[in-house]
Structure 1
Amino acid sequence: MFSNYLIGLREGLEASLVVCILVAYLVKTENRDKLPPLWLGVGLAAAISLAFGAALEFGTSELTFQAQEAIGGSLSIVAVGLVTWMVFWMKRTARHLKAELHGKLDAALAMGTGALVATAFLAVGREGLETSLFVWRSVHAAGDGSAPLIGVLLGLGTSVLLGWLFYRGALRINLSRFFTWTGAMLVVVAAGVLAYGMHDLQEAEFLPGLADRAFDISGTIPPDSWYGTLLKGTFNFQPDPTWLQVGVWVLYLVPTLALFLAQGPGRPAQAPG
């Protein structure tokens, strides 16, 4: 549940900050009449993201077991690739995000209402689609009933509250440091999702080695125990992984996390106003 809360918080806060910056700039430049098109773009982005998540969930439910595992494993790789790119991109551009969005908004205002809707849609929609895909894979990897989904919703709710407080000036956040540490935790979560995706592809018979277990500590950490459930829900831990899962987990996590942390936290990002 914690890993999914983290995903909802991290991704939701990115989207919330983008919306805060756009709204604050329109208010500051006395373009309050342009707020409805902005919210229209945000609403469309949210609707598309929800529809994408629903299509992933219900569109695969009628497929055969092997087809479901093949699609799930393939989308795990895509989701991990997207979230890895996102955490590196956000860490690098957080300090410049305000100026970048202001420039896009100025161009949209000069072009008209349709451009403003499109700017808001694209700014928020990318975050929404990435979140839908990664949450879908993470929830399936956790496999803990409704708890992962509740975690995501709590994370999103927290991000909206933090975004509002940030906009009102009631909260000061060192965004660069925040995105550094949450990004590092997301890399750990992504490693678990990637390993789970490898297991899916093995079950779909796309990859060999399903019976080749690296170790089995199910007796020490039973999957149905409270601590086994906690480890699986937080880190996608599996007590009996295959050699392929362990190898992919290590080969992704160690260099990615080392490279990410080696870049340093950077300077604090600016407030939305």
Structure 2
Amino acid sequence: MFGNYLIGLREGLEASLVVCILIAYLVKTDRRDALKPIWLGIATAVVLALGFGCALQFGSQTLTFEAQEALGGSLSIIAVGLVTWMVFWMRRTARHLKAELHGKLDAALAMGTAALVLTAFLAVGREGLETALFVWAAVQASSDGTPKPLIGVVLGLLTAVLLGWLFYRGALRINLAKFFTWTGGMLVVVAAGVLAYGFHDLQEARFVPGLGSKAFDISAQIPADSWYGTLLKGVFNFQPDPTVVQVVVWCLYLIPTLVLFLAPGRAAPRAAEAAVPGARGEDDRERGAVEG
């Protein structure tokens, strides 16, 4: 459940920051008349993400078992690729996110209402679709027949919305560069489990060989239905009897990805405490939501 909570929090907070930047800039520039199209674009993006998630969940149920496993495995690999790109992208461009969004918003204001709706839709929609895909893949990987994985995601998203609101109101200030670094690293660990489970799905669909070749089996020491077995599965997608392919894939992804992500040379230059536009006067309304 914690792993899914982390996904909802990390992905949801990115979308919340984008919304904060857009809204705060319009308030600062006294363009409150443009808020309605912005909210329309945001609402459309949220509906699209929910619809995409529902299509994944209910559409796959009409397929045969092997087709479901093939689809689940393929989408899990795609989801891990997207979330890996996202955490590296956010680490690299977080400091310039405000300026980038401001530039797009200025151009949209000059073009009219439709451009404003499209700008907000694209800014939030990408995050929404990535979140829906990765959440679906992670829930499939950690599901134990209970609603706990989905509850974790929902709680994470609600926390992200609350944090976004507190940032906007100026009631909370944290170093977002460090926040995204630590949560990005933890998300890579979660993604490694999702990727390994995705390859297990492909093995069950007979797309990848080696289903019967177990790397080890510690089910007796760590029962899957024990509290600690459930905890490990919920946080790391741990499996007590993985195949050789799963272990190899997990190691080949996790070790180099974490090394590259946490390498000191990739760290952003030290800056002042990052903050989302707050309530400390008009200057804070224009201050960037993310500073490296």
Match of 1:57? 57
Name the CA shift for 1:195/1:228 in 2 (closer, same or farther; >3 Å): same
Alignment of 1:28-67 (within 5 A): 28-67=28-67
Distance across 2 between alignment mates of 1:88 and 1:259:
9
Match of 1:221? 222
The yes-or-no answer on 1:80 pairing with 2:85 is: no
Task: Determine helix, strand or coil for the equivalent of 2:62.
Answer: coil
Match of 2:131? 131
Alignment of 1:184-203 (within 5 A): 184-203=185-204
Distance across 2 between alignment mates of 1:48 and 1:194:
25
Q: How far 1:271 moved relative to its partner?
A: 2.9
Match of 1:264? 267
Task: Determine helix, strand or coil for the equivalent of 1:61.
Answer: helix
Q: Gaps (5+ residues) in structure 2? A: 278-284, 286-292
Distance across 2 between alignment mates of 1:245 and 1:216:
13
Distance across 2 between alignment mates of 1:64 and 1:71:
10
Q: How many residues align?
A: 273
Does the 8 A contact of 1:218 with 1:240 survive in 2? yes
Output one character per residue of 1:223-258: Cα deviation in whole Å (capped at 9) or x when no partner.
111111111011000000000000000000000000
Q: How far 1:143 moved relative to its partner?
A: 1.2
Runs of 4+ off more than 6 Å: none
Q: How far 1:264 moved relative to its partner?
A: 2.3
TM-score normalised by length of structure 1: 0.98
Distance across 2 between alignment mates of 1:267 and 1:221:
43
Match of 1:171? 172
Q: How far 1:88 moved relative to its partner?
A: 0.2
Does the 8 A contact of 2:174 with 2:275 survive in 1? no
Does the 8 A contact of 1:141 with 1:196 survive in 2? yes
Distance across 1 between alignment mates of 2:241 and 2:80:
22
Distance across 2 between alignment mates of 1:271 and 1:133:
27
Does the 8 A contact of 1:95 with 1:267 survive in 2? no
Does the 8 A contact of 1:95 with 1:270 survive in 2? no
The yes-or-no answer on 1:69 pairing with 2:69 is: yes
TM-score normalised by length of structure 2: 0.92
Q: In the alignment, residue 63 of structure 2 is paired with which amino acid?
A: L
Match of 1:98? 98
Q: How far 1:265 moved relative to its partner?
A: 5.2
Task: Determine helix, strand or coil for the equivalent of 1:219.
Answer: coil
Q: In the alignment, residue 228 of structure 1 is paired with which amino acid?
A: G
Q: Gaps (5+ residues) in structure 1? A: none
Q: How far 1:173 moved relative to its partner?
A: 1.6
Among the aligned pairs, what percent are the same residue? Answer: 76
Does the 8 A contact of 1:12 with 1:155 survive in 2? yes
Name the CA shift for 1:117/1:267 in 2 (closer, same or farther; >3 Å): farther
Q: In the alignment, residue 204 of structure 1 is paired with which amino acid?
A: A
